[in-house]
């Protein structure tokens, strides 16, 4: 599976496509996810992204995601993942445990459009807040 998402809402530490300019501050992110179905309807996923929220002082703008995605009745995708920004052992790097659910509309045998909602639960709440995010995903299934 290859997947790309557009993210709406706070977009720290994710692999979606995102662009926003407000009051002279520009935030952007570009990313892609891939997965391998280890059994029917269950995929292991990884993702990488690159971006800048326009306000933080992160020196490593690489976002990552590791997770599992399951399609209930082949139409309701549910995902749990660990995602964040930056590598290394610093507590200041944002990291989240993410929960996502949506609905898969298959536009063809191997192409789906997947609107959904995601909750990112901050691992270190002294640096970053938990947040909700709305996504519009597009996936190719091989």
pLDDT tens profile 1-28: 999 988 776 555 678 888 888 888 888 8
- pLDDT score of 11: 57
Q: Please state the pTM of the whole predicted model.
A: 0.85
Domain that holds residue 56: 2-140
- pLDDT score of 58: 59
pLDDT tens profile 77-129: 999 999 888 766 566 677 889 999 999 999 999 999 999 999 989 887 766 78
Size (the chain), residues: 142
Query: Which residue would you say has higher pLDDT here, 60 or 80?
Result: 80
Distance CA 120, CA 3 (A): 19
- pLDDT score of 113: 96
Number of domains in the chain: 1
- pLDDT score of 130: 84
- Token readout for 49 is 């992204």
CATH number at residue 73: 2.40.160.20
């Amino acid at each position: 599976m290859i997947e790309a998402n557009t993210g709406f809402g706070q977009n720290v530490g994710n692999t979606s496509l995102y662009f926003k300019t407000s009051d002279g501050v520009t935030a952007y992110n570009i990313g892609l996810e891939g997965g391998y179905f280890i059994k029917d309807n269950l995929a292991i996923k990884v993702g990488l992204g690159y971006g800048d929220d326009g306000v933080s002082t992160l020196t490593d703008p690489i976002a990552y995601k590791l997770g599992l995605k399951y399609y209930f009745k082949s139409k309701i995708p549910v995902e749990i993942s660990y995602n964040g920004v930056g590598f290394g052992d610093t507590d200041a790097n944002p990291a989240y445990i993410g929960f996502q659910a949506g609905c898969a509309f298959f536009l063809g045998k191997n192409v789906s459009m997947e609107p959904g909602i995601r909750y990112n639960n901050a691992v270190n709440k002294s640096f970053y807040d938990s947040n909700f995010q709305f996504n519009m995903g597009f996936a190719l299934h091989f």
